[in-house]
Structure formats: C-alpha cells, structure tokens
Amino acid sequence: MTTNTKNKATGDGGNTDDLVDAIDGLVDDIAKVRDGVGRVIFGQETVIEETLITLLAGGHCLLVGVPGLGKTRLVETLGKVFGMDEKRVQFTPDLMPGDILGSEVLEESESGKRGFRFVKGPVFCQLLMADEINRASPRTQSALLQAMQEHRVSVAGQYHDLPKPFHVLATQNPLEQEGTYPLPEAQLDRFFMQVDVTHPDLETEREILIKTTGADTQDAKRVMDPKALMRAQSLVRHVPVGESVAEAILKVVRAGRPDASDLPEIRNYVSWGPGPRASQALMLGVRARAMIQGRLSPSVEDVYALAHPILRHRMALTFGARAEGVTVGQIIDRLCQIIE
C-alpha cells in the first residue's frame, strides 16, 4: 500500500487505518477479478482496467471497436465474475423503446375484471449489455437516457426503479461502418468512459489462436457479488484526493472548452468541449484507479492515464479540424501538456 502525501487531501477520507484495511481487501478481490477476466480475454489489459474503473466508479461504459475484437465477450465475462443479473439487447434498426423498457399489457382476471399490468423489459437487470447500440434508431437510443442517469424508467406515467447496482456496458461499431446512427451528445455524456478496443498485437493474436481453438476452453467464474461491488463503489468515494490532482482535473477540463480556453488549438479546432460531468468522472476515475493499484490516494499520473477515455466522447471537432486531419486524441494530448 502506498500513499500520496505530497498535498493536503481534499474530500472525506474517513479513518485512515480503516480505509487502508478496506482498500487492501479490495485490491485482493480486484486482482482475482482481473485474473478471472484475463483467462477469457487475452491481451486487453488496458481495456479491462478501464472497464473495471468504470464499474467501481458506478458508471456506464461505451466500448468502441470493429466487430470481432471480443467486446461482447468482455461484457459477458464481467457479468459472470461480479455475479450480476445480466441481460443482453441486440440493437437493430427496428428495435423499439418498449422492447428495452417494457410495456403495459391488458389482462383479464378470473372475475372478468380487466386491467393493465406492467411487463418489465430487459433494462430491469444489474448489467445491461447494449450490443451494437449505434445500429438502433435515435429514438430507441434515447430510451436509455433516463435509465442511465436516474436508474429508473417511466412508462405510461408510472416510475419503475431499476435494480442496484445498475450498469450499461454498450458496444459500438465505428461510425464509418454502414448502417449506424451517431449517438446523441446527451447520451454520450452519460457514459463514464469511451474505451477504444483495437486489434491485438502479434503475440496476443497467437495466444488467442492457440487457446481458443483447442478442446479445453477457459470460462469465467464468480469472484465477487453485487453487494461487494456496491461496497467497493462506496469506498471509492472515500479515497482522499490531493489538491494538485483536483487542480489538474479542473485545468484539463476547463481548457477543453473553446469559449473559455486560452489555447489557440482549442478555440480553432473544438466546436464543443467537456462539461462538469467530465470533471466528476475524472475525480471518481482517478480514485478508482488508485484503489485498484493499491494506493491510498491518486496522483496527477492518473489524470494523464484517464484523460483520453473520459474526454474523447465529450468533445467534438470543427469542420476545419477534420479537414486538416486533426484528431480528438491530439487535442487531449495538448490539454495534458498544460499540467506537466
């Protein structure tokens, strides 16, 4: 266990000894989770870590990559190792909001009295896998907005609470693929992270080739339960954050807004930048990353590590930037330079 004592901590750290003991116990559990996931998903350590950070922070994750990279398999595996009630929805152009949220059906009792009964949709689970979310129409995509933000849905004027914990892990094909619809900005902002899944390197692909085509295949086993995950999520919020880390988060996020930034690259190339929800995500993310790695408080290095997955879907480039070949990744790299 290591502690960052360079700066006065901000936030409620609680009793330090109790916090250290709790984090030590959680580090062991998370190590078992990562080992269990790693037996099924090969060579995606960064993707696995970022997805675990999202879950520990209580957020939703958007996994972006071309088909066949194991995104769906990763979500299924996480559901197993955390013992969560998992459901999958395959998003298609003809999918309707009621297919996700549920609907009311007319029933007749034995006495002949008729009434409506709400039939819950697949969103009523602890881990919802929204597979290829950008293949559904914008109307259906928006049906998830309230569920992701409020953890409840409204059908026929009645509110229905979702189970706890509740997470949406969505997979998405790149927008240049045919038959896809861009996610609206409001829904993108609800995702804690956008995790880009890339092709494996040579050695990893060789490992995949050998281990997944033989007679013996690995399967994930339950390591934690949903209640343990909720306790871990509560513990994340008690991890103290140094003032230098909080200032670094504010600098990066605020400098990414074209109307308030002093950087000419931002004013010229960014049409809209990250809002306060990005700052909140970074604050929770650096806490979760530090805790996973057995540290009592995060450092500025954690801000560097999480800036890309937390900011990349919360920024949009101007037409001029796209014409010049500027990428969002390059813009985020420039933002990180101001805190070096």
- pLDDT band at residue 8, thresholds of 50, 70 and 90? very low
Which residues does residue 242 pair with via DSSP β-bridges, in sequence order? 9
The values of phi and psi at residue 41, to 5°, are -105, 120
Q: Alpha carbon 207 to chain centroid distance? A: 27
Tokens 């970074």: give the residue.
282
Spatial CB neighbours of 334, under 8 Å, sequence gap ≥ 6? 263, 265, 266
Its sign, for the CA torsion 233, 237, 239, 241, is: positive
Question: CA angle, 91 as apex, 192 and 39 as ends, to 5°?
Answer: 60
Radius of gyration from C-alpha coordinates of the chain: 21
Both tokens of 203, joined, read: 């050695």
- State how beta strands 114-120 and 102-108 pair: antiparallel
What is the CATH T-level fold of the domain 9-337, as seen in this structure?
Answer: Rossmann fold (3.40.50)
| Nearest by Cα to 125 from 82, 186, 156, 93 | 82
Residue 9 clears pLDDT 80, i.e. is over it: no
Q: How distant, in Å, are the alpha carbons of 247, 261, 273, 312, 315 from that of 255?
A: 12, 5, 9, 14, 12
- Residue 154: count other Cβ atoms within 10 Å of its Cβ: 12
pLDDT at 177: 65
The pLDDT value given to residue 12: 54
Range of lowest pLDDT (62-76, 246-260, 287-301, 307-321): 62-76
Q: At residue 66, does pLDDT exceed 90?
A: no
Strands 152-155 and 270-272: unpaired
**Per-residue pLDDT reduced to its tens digit, 106-118:** 887 777 788 788 8
DSSP state at residue 84: -
**pLDDT tens digit sequence for 203-230:** 888 888 888 887 777 777 888 999 999 9
Contact (Cβ atoms closer than 8 angstroms) between residue 7 and residue 300: no
Residue type, 336: C
Please tell me whether the peptide bond between 165 and the residue prior to it is cis, using omega within 30 degrees of 0: yes
Mean pLDDT in residue range 170-178: 75
* CA neighbor of 121 nearest in space, from 134, 130, 113: 130
Q: What is the DSSP string of 167-231?
A: EEEEEE--TTSTT--PPPHHHHTTSSEEEEP----HHHHHHHHHHSSSS----------HHHHHH
